[in-house]
Amino acid sequence: MSHWKELFAEIVSTDVCCGCAACVLVCPHHVLDYDFSMEKPFQTDEQRPNSCSHGETGCEICALACPRLDHETGVWRWNWPQLEESLYGRTRRSDEVFGGYMQVLLARASDPKIVANAQDGGVGSAIILHGLATGALDGAVVSAFDGNQMTSPKLVTTPDEVLGTARSRYTYCATPLALRDAAAARLRKVAMVGVSCEISAAPKMAASGVRKWSNRIALTIGLMCSETFLPQPFLEQKIQGDYGVDMSKVEKINIKGKIVIDRSDGEQVNIPLDECRSLARDWGCPFCPDFSAEHADISLGGLGMEG
């Protein structure tokens, strides 16, 4: 039986941890909390950073939820075959290099207001809005935007909140944490939006029986992802410092072979991607095997496309 001790030794302290916060979400004794500046979980009892008394007496829920730990052996392992079996009833074929899928589509929201507010085609926002309008969803956990391109997990339940939190932030945002607010509001049909590593937490919880949380997730919307940037060097030093862009006047940041920054005055600033490579996280992401959010119900990406 594995618990926080193995999670800490095998995943967190080795930098395999992606920072998805699934372990923090599910911990029933509030032993774990999330360090937003380090983008990692930590044990709140400073005397025992690497262990947990509840774990020693039988609790294993954090280990069950972690998408990077094999909870049976207590070691780092990609649980992909287990997740594929639980999601699709089979493991992937050898030609399914970016995961099992039903269809690949080029799509865009038909409502121009959604497209104008969104990152690429607005499909992510359109699906959530449709879910809220039809009653298929009663909320979504997404990434909120504080005006300076910084992120925080947020539960949205209204069309204004959905459009107000659309577009991409290229820094990490542990969206699963906002499921706590969904539980507090007694919502039962919640869409979870997240980059690939966050999405894998949903089927890992379902497959290992952490159903209190997985049952609440009615839909997973994955964002294709190959890296995230560190807020301070990327936003403050590079964009604001080196390029003199006032972050409070940034409309949108997109990555299309280069960093494309749309300012609210209509001007565009381009930054070569190579200049920013060293500003990406050097933990979690270098170990990540999943670009296409393989375990999402629908995965969205816009590389090579405009609008």
Ligand X SMILES: Cc1cc2nc3c(=O)[nH]c(=O)nc-3n(C[C@H](O)[C@H](O)[C@H](O)COP(=O)(O)OP(=O)(O)OC[C@H]3O[C@@H](n4cnc5c(N)ncnc54)[C@H](O)[C@@H]3O)c2cc1C
Contacts with ligand X, residue ranges (CB under 6 A): 118-125, 142-143, 151, 165-170, 173, 175, 193-195, 223-226, 228, 300-303
Q: Which of 21, 218, 235, 296 binds ligand SF4 (CB under 6 A)?
A: 21
Structure tokens at 72: 């049976």
Q: What does 256 bind: ligand X, ligand SF4, none (CB cut-off 5 to 8 Å by kind)?
A: none
Q: What does 300 bind: ligand X, ligand SF4, none (CB cut-off 5 to 8 Å by kind)?
A: ligand X
Q: d(Cα 209, Cα 215) in Å, to the nearest integer?
A: 10
Tell me whether residue 100 or residue 164 sits nearer to ligand X (CB atom).
164
Burial of 287 (0-12, 13-18, 19+ CB in 10 A): middle
**Residues in Cβ contact with 267 at an 8 Å cutoff, skipping those fewer than 6 apart:** none
Q: d(Cα 168, Cα 192) in Å, to the nearest integer?
A: 15
Check binding of 196 to ligand SF4 (CB under 6 A): yes
Q: d(Cα 205, Cα 13) in Å, to the nearest integer?
A: 22
How many residues of this chain interact with ligand SF4, rule: CB under 6 A? Answer: 37
Residue list 87-106, contact with ligand SF4 (CB under 6 A): none
Tell me whether residue 22 or residue 156 sits nearer to ligand SF4 (CB atom).
22
Tell me whether residue 286 or residue 307 sits nearer to ligand SF4 (CB atom).
286
* Closest chain position to ligand X (CB): 301
Name the site residues for ligand SF4 (rule: CB under 6 A).
Answer: 3-4, 7, 11-12, 17-23, 27, 29, 31-32, 41, 52, 54-55, 59, 61-62, 65-66, 68, 172, 195-197, 225-228, 284-285, 288
